[in-house]
A and B are shown apart, each in its own frame.
Chain A
Amino acid sequence: METTSTLLTWIIFTPALLGVLTLLAPSSLEGKLRQFALYQTIINAILATFMYAGFIGQESGYQFVHAVEWLPDWGINYLVGIDGISLPLVMLTAYVAPLAVLGTWPDLSHGGELKLEKFFVSLIMFLQTGMYGTFLAVDLFLFYFFWEVVLIPMFFLIGIWGGKERIYATIKFFLYTMVGSLLMLVAIFWVVRSTGEQLGNLNASLEVISGLKFAFDGSSPGAALTSPQALLFLAFALAFVIKVPMVPFHTWLPDAHVQAPTIGSVFLAAVLLKLGTYGLMRIAIPLFPQAAEYFSVMFIALGVIGIIYGAFCALAQSDFKKLVAYSSVSHMGYIMVGLFSFNKIALAGSLYQMINHGISAGGLFLVVGFLYERLHTRNLNEFGGLSKVVPMMAIAFMVMTLSSVALPGSNGFVGEFPILLGSFQTHPWFVLFAGTGVILGAVYALKAYQLVMLGPVTRTDTDHLHDLNWRELVAMSVLALFVFGIGFFPKTFFGKSDATLNTYADTLIQKVGSP
């Protein structure tokens, strides 16, 4: 591919460059570093907005391609580009980042202290580089590279600034992801080697690899499991579903979420989980379509189990953060169902749901953070009646809850409805069960809201409990704007993805050979 723009490279590496700068900053500037982080995220959001404006929605190929030779001996190049699938995810990252920084501003008025601020801020910047890189990589090796790079800042964020059980949580998070990733690495060797065999020269570019053919024999389960395409698919899929996370590989998520500092939880829920579904959508399913179709029922079933199981777990929690974490397991299950139903509408819905869950889960984690910052507890039974004390926060929380339960008119509806609609045409029975998840979702989300905000005021220390300050208000208002904006005008926000999604679904369905 030819280089057409270097804008994406700027988007990827601006945070890393400024992160290095942050590390080198003198200690006297430590108090100003949050502001610096805010400027960095705003710069990135502006760059991303420019990119969005220049993105041509009618085209389905990669745009803004930047290609540089990196390791040509191994067929590996620095190759970044964007299409309609990565576009919304990059925009999500770009807009969530400044809001997350704003919403987790440290409150030093009550004698709080900054802990290793320099390191913290630079890690947040490195994390963004990793996330942008993973979404924008068009080279399989580069994708893996960034995929792993994301782990390191997150590992430190949870491990240093996390809660009591932070070390257990962060090691679990790292190791779970590593198991999947390393098997994916073996699969990458295999795929890249196949380009050498089938095309004559090594090349790890996703466009080249999508032209490869891997043998698949679906005549019997044994033959299917041992055919190359199935092995490759399962290796990639394992790495991705661990990240999603799909039941039964989800157990790292509640630990990581509960222990992570608020900003870490926000990034984890809003963006990091999407790396998994993005990987499935970008790599595992389109490159190995027959195998993906063969195993689709299994993944849909696990997705549905995830929806229901996650919802029940959320219902049983008394820890607010854990409740939101399990609700993520439940909501990500819809994306799994949508991706593996091989239906045009459901596939589009899955992409929308990735963005919408990013907004609603990110917002809910911010609310949990607000409460924890003020009251130092996350136990749902220790709140109650707070809407009378902090009305603005109650409104913000309500908006995020509505988005989470997928109320029509909120963004959640735009994602979940097409998934259920599309999948119903291919797998009606599964969707019947998945649909109950919507009801359960409403039950636990409203239960949480009721326990925190409604009823009599039970706490005695509420007099110094202050409402949202202007930073938090800005963060929540922008999120609310997106909740209703996407809810009422989905076309405006996702229109530029239509062409890519159409081509994607057509090619995929044609490759699989089913309606």
Chain B
Amino acid sequence: MTLAETFPLQALSSADYLSLTPLFLLSFGAIAALLLGTHKVQGHSRAFVAAGVTIVLALLSYGTNVGAEATVLLNGTLIIDSFTRTLSFAACLFSLVAVIITRGADIKENLLSEVYALILFSTAGMILMMSTSHLLFMFIALEIMSLAVYVMVAMRRTSYFSAEAGLKYFILGGFGSALLLYGTSLIFGATGSFELSAIGKFISGTQPTPIFYVGLGLVITAMLFKVGAVPFHGWVPDVYQGAATNVTAFMSAGVKFTAFMAFGRIALNTVFVENVPGMQWFESYIWLVAAASMIYGNFVAISQNELKRMLSFSTIAHTGYLLLGLYGMRLGPESAQSVLLYLFFYALSSLGAFAIVAQFESANEKDVRIEQMAGLGLRHPIMGACMTVFLLSMAGIPLTSGFIGKYGLFNSAVNAGQIPLVVIAVLTSVVSVYYYLRVIVYMFMKEADGNQAIYQNLRGAGLAATISAAATLQFGVFPRAVIQLIKYLAK
């Protein structure tokens, strides 16, 4: 069998080209940003403008075409319908915020101007990854996304930890990718297809071969690794802490969002397929990982003294909540929206929180400790108010979008009959309230002791934080518009 037979390529129609426009835009925009960034003096600002314009154009392109006819390219490998367009729109939105945060932070952290191009490349990888249901293609998209992120993580030349984090992420990430690839090949061997929907149909009502189970186990493990769930979370704290904060913001929003959407697609077509014997083992596997992530992430975050590290442990806990949401997904698109909603709202608060952290600096070049935030909320009230909103949102307190997201997520999980897991989630989120409050306590209730962190107003990060905070409150009180939008688009 030649390659052309397995993978026949066809000529693209004009509609196909239209659907691919944003991807072209992102790729060419990235190259443009790369070239413009070489200017000695204005390299950073030119690359910023190029990246910003590119993403805005991509957003416009998705925004105007979102309801257009679905296009299926490469024999069903790349599906561009209203749902994937919505996901892509969200990914571009997060990238735009990340680009804005990077402005200012790039000089402060001594990042190269290439960071803008890398964000665009990575975004293109995200869009591909969320638009495909072809396992091999997913692997390639994952690599496009991850490679750019590896470089970004290692790019913070002012910190020793950055290079370590980059290397760690690269090696462990490569390990995860290898698992995915190996699992994919085993699944292909067992079912004869890379296509997730075809795999789902193939195994439905049959007894799959043992090879399939091994392959599926590997694929799921690889995805759990990518989303950073316990016990595959080892890289998360170090990488989040070592990377420049703007990069951390990008990872916690965009990369996590993408990995979860891809994971959801895989799980829906394999683990949650009806009438397949043995799938309950994989369900219990995810159940255990979800519970472990919530418990471990939340309890370990309590004992963290560095702000960024605390936030990175809390993202592990949020991964646990999202895995809980996966169970809701099996009930159909209605519940899948709640995961999407949660991810969207979480990404918003997470971007904002890291945007604020990016503006702080400790005098001795180390990461800012929570105690060093003493009195800063009162000294910089707008920043303090924004941070409070983000932390309350992550803790899931009403008035913020995080509460709406959590309500939807837990609700769909209760509907899926996962009450014990929801109770674990709820009780561990009480724990999370403690460490989120601790930051607020230091910001507003402790006196500054002269040792506090230095606040440097970065215009980009400040803007991003203010917008995210406003959106967090807006969607926390009037979430209907977003819910309806997602419902309409995901039809």
Contact = CB atoms under 8 A, between A and B. Distances in A.
Interface of A: 69-74, 116, 141, 144-146, 148-149, 151-152, 155-156, 159-160, 166-167, 170-171, 174-175, 178-179, 182-183, 185-186, 189-190, 192-193
A291 B399 CA distance: 32
Nearest to B406: A185
Given A152-B397, A185-B410, A186-B423, A166 B445 contact: yes
Interface centre among B398, B414, B423, B446 (most CB of A within 10 A): B398
Contacts of B445: 159-160, 166-167, 170
A63 to B, nearest CB: 26
A149 B397 CA distance: 8
Consensus secondary structure, chain A interface: helix
A166 B480 CA distance: 38
Contacts of A156: 444
A171 B437 contact: yes
Contacts of A148: 397-398, 403
Interface centre among B437, B479, B484 (most CB of A within 10 A): B437
Contacts of B411: 74, 189, 192-193
B434 A175 contact: yes
B427 A185 contact: no
27 contacts: A69-B480, A71-B483, A73-B480, A74-B407, A145-B398, A148-B398, A148-B403, A149-B399, A152-B399, A155-B437, A156-B444, A159-B441, A159-B445, A160-B444, A171-B437, A171-B441, A174-B437, A175-B433, A179-B427, A182-B430, A186-B419, A186-B423, A186-B426, A189-B410, A189-B415, A192-B411, A193-B411
Contacts of B479: 71
B104 interface: no
Contacts of B423: 183, 186
A178 B427 CA distance: 9
A182 B429 contact: yes
A159 B444 contact: yes
Contacts of B441: 159, 167, 170-171
A160 B441 CA distance: 9
Interface string B418-442: 0100110011011001100110010
Consensus secondary structure, chain B interface: helix
Contacts of A69: 480
B414 A193 contact: yes
B437 A74 contact: no
Contacts of B398: 144-146, 148-149
Given A159-B441, A166-B445, A175-B430, A73 B399 contact: no
A148 B403 CA distance: 10
A185 B407 contact: yes
A260 B102 CA distance: 42
B427 A182 contact: yes
A186 B424 CA distance: 11
Nearest to A145: B398
A116 B379 CA distance: 11
B408 interface: yes
Interface in B367-411: 378, 392, 397-399, 403, 407-408, 410-411
Given A70-B480, A171-B434, A183-B427, 11 more contacts: A71-B480, A73-B480, A73-B487, A74-B408, A146-B398, A148-B397, A152-B392, A170-B441, A170-B445, A175-B434, A185-B410
A444 to B, nearest CB: 32
A78 to B, nearest CB: 10
Nearest to B337: A73
Contacts of A116: 378
Contacts of A159: 441, 444-445
Contacts of B410: 185-186, 189
